């Protein structure tokens, strides 16, 4: 028997806003659209957006997408530009890869991760006392830089 994931469904309050979220971050392509649903593909994975109420609570349940190390800063900039909430990461072993955890507009948690399953397993072979704390310095600095640039651009608008 062969089994694979058919599709992933997200219930969202605003179909257009959520479609833009998937298009900007995951380069999703809309393949079907109605008043109550949008179907998209991300690298041949079917993503279904169904109109409904947002999740009432946030949790650690999430979907992780693999990205390249060289793309990390670019994705962080896009997430900041979109004003999305970034969640603190967990402590990591050396060699496990970097992650950005962030929520969409309906409280779904996503992760962009630079590592692979094999790299994670290999990193666990290190001594137990070799753990890298969740270092959000780069993420926090990026968010602060973006907020400062937005404040400046808004103050320039007010001068006009």
DSSP the chain: ------EEEEEES-HHHHHHHHHHHH--EEEEE-SSEEEEEETTEEEEEEESPPPSS--S-EEEEE--GGGHHHHHHHHHHTTPPEEPPPPEETTS--EEEEE-TTS-EEEEE---HHHHHHHTTS-TT-EE----HHHHHHHHHHHHHHHHHHHHHHH-
Indicate which residue of 23, 71, 111, 140 is catalytic. Answer: 111
111 included as an active-site residue: yes
The catalytic site residues sit at: 111
């Amino acid at each position: 028997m062969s089994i694979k994931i058919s599709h992933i469904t997200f219930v969202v309050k605003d179909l257009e806003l959520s479609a833009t979220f998937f298009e900007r971050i995951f380069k999703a392509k809309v393949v079907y659209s109605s008043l109550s649903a949008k179907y998209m593909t991300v690298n041949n994975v079917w993503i279904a957006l169904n109109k409904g109420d947002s999740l009432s609570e946030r949790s650690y349940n999430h979907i992780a997408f693999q990205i390249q190390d060289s793309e990390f800063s670019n994705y962080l900039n896009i997430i900041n530009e979109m004003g999305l909430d970034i969640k603190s990461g967990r402590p990591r072993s050396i060699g496990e890869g970097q992650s950005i955890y962030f929520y969409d507009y309906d409280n779904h948690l996503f992760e962009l991760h630079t590592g692979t399953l094999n790299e994670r397993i290999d990193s666990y072979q290190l001594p137990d006392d070799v753990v890298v704390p969740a270092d959000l310095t780069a993420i926090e600095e990026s968010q602060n830089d973006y907020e400062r640039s937005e404040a400046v651009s808004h103050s320039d608008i007010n001068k006009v």
